[in-house]
Amino acid sequence: MNLRVKKLRERLAKEGYDAIFVSTPENRRYLSGFTGSAGYLVISQEAAIIATDFRYYEQVGRQCPDFELCKLTGDLQSWLPETLTRLKVKSLVFEAQNVSFAFHLLLKAALAKMKPAARPKLLATNDFVEALRIYKDGEEAVTLRRAVAIADQAFLTVAPTIKPGDTEAAVAWRIEMSMKEQGADGPSFDTIVAAGPNSALPHHRPSEKRIERHEPIVLDFGARLHGYCSDITRTVFLGGPDATFRKVYDYVLAAQETAIVAAQAGMTGHDVDKLARDVIEKAGYGDKFGHGTGHGVGLLIHENPRVSRNATNELKDGMFYTVEPGIYLPGLGGVRIENIVTLEKGKPVNLTRAPKKEMQKL
């Protein structure tokens, strides 16, 4: 059985649970390797079962050799009671943070079909598998580094081609094409290209707005590779920034580099957020930096660890997270700069290589 399932079983034993019902797609993929769009896992100390429908029977055989296939031909009640009875499960945990109220009712109804003496306790958990996913193993780290490199190259390829009159949407398309041409599955999220006043909107969607000289252009995008996400942001200017944005850019860059270099294992996400936030607040722009400094990346573009004002999680070796402070001036524009960082031997390792200061002026 794979090491990830082994670690999950160790956690089940430590918490005193017999089995877990996994319905979250990313957790299903992490534990089994299954990339299909539908299915469930039931994992106990004795068994690892993947339940899916006819579309994926052959795929399971290829991707999940360590898992027993349960061929679905109906709803939960058609297979889950028999499975849990066979495994003699007395306590079953489910992923509360990703289960709707309606699905919870279906789970309860399925268990109600079991004989009372065989019926397990249904217990809610949060971040049970995610607590394992927060540490990237060797295969994951290699994939993430490659996804970062693809995004880096997309920036190097596309940024020099931006010219006055290009639309935000056209630039976004060129970025996504560059990533696909390098082998990416696709973008990690909807690519952001935000020029001029639009750059003051952290999650602006590319429009038909035409890019002009000297205005900030925020490029925020990432590559998804084998399911894993990268994330990069650079802010550039055609012909260089005006006096206001020259200062703003330097403040954001100083905040970002401070938070990258000074981080170390044992710090909380709050501590790292404060490193960046203090620089921006001292510059007088504290009220113009309203989002967190960063977030974990992996099978989801936003996952643990969190790097924000309220983040209590400790940063440890094997975690991958972003550092992306920004300053946003409503009606004028904004600046954000983002890298992905990991921790090795307690120290930060910067993975994003795309230039920052030297590419500020195009």
pLDDT band at 357, cuts 50/70/90? Answer: confident
The contacts of residue 91 (CB under 8 Å, 6+ apart) are: 16, 17, 18, 19, 120, 121, 123
Name the residue with tokens 């994003």. Answer: 352
Residue 1 has a pLDDT of: 65
φ, ψ of residue 23 to 5 degrees: the values are -120, -10
Same domain flag for 113 and 180:
no
Task: Please report the pLDDT score of residue 278 as a whole number.
Answer: 98
Beta carbons of 211 and 171 less than 8 angstroms apart:
yes
Asked if residue 334 and residue 197 are part of one domain, the reply reads: yes
Residue 332: predicted pLDDT? 97
Average pLDDT over residues 210-221: 97
54 and 117 within one domain: yes
Residue 80 confidence class, pLDDT cut points 50, 70, 90:
very high
Q: How many CB atoms lie within 10 A of CB 174?
A: 18
Asked if 126 and 160 sit in the same domain, the reply is: no
User: Considering 106, 133, 160, which residue would you say is the last residue of a domain?
Assistant: 133
Rounded-to-integer distance, Cα 206 and Cα 64, Å: 39
pLDDT given at position 290: 96
Query: pLDDT at residue 359 above 80?
Result: no
| Count of structural domains within the chain | 2
How large a percentage of the chain has pLDDT more than 90? 97
- Cα–Cα distance, 362 to 348 (Å, whole number): 30
Asked if residue 247 lies in contact with residue 237, where contact means CB atoms within 8 angstroms, the answer is no
Nearest to 185 by CA among 151, 156, 153: 151
DSSP string covering 194-241, please? EEGGGGGSTTPPP-SPBP-TTSEEEEEE-EEETTEE--EEEEEETT--
Q: Mean pLDDT, to the nearest integer, of 81-95? A: 96
Per-residue confidence (pLDDT) for residue 74, from 0 to 100? 86
Whether residue 362 is predicted with pLDDT greater than 70 in this model: the reply is no
Q: What percent of the chain has pLDDT over 70?
A: 98
Same-domain check for residues 199 and 85: no
The pLDDT of 331-358, averaged and rounded, is 95
Specify the CATH number for the domain of residue 345.
3.90.230.10
Same domain, 158 and 87: no
Do 151 and 296 sit in the same domain of this protein?
yes
Paired tokens of 66: 């360590």
Mean pLDDT of 170-194: 98
Question: Are 126 and 202 in contact, with CB atoms under 8 Å apart?
Answer: no
Same domain, 109 and 154: no
Q: How many CA atoms lie within 13 A of 130 on its CB side?
A: 20
CATH number, domain with residue 75: 3.40.350.10
Of 101, 133, 165, the last residue of a domain is: 133
Three-state DSSP state, 273: helix
The model's pLDDT over 274-285, given as tens digits with 9 standing for 90+, comes to 999 999 999 999
Calculate the alpha carbon distances from 181 to 118, 149, 177, 186, 220 in Å.
54, 13, 6, 10, 18
Which of 46, 56, 139 is CA-nearest to residue 84? 46
Write out the residue range of the structural domain in which residue 100 sits: 3-133
From 133, 168, 183, give the residue that closes a domain.
133
State residue 95 phi and psi, 5-degree precision. Answer: -90, 90
Taking only the tens place, the pLDDT of each residue in 122-146 is: 999 999 999 999 999 999 999 999 9
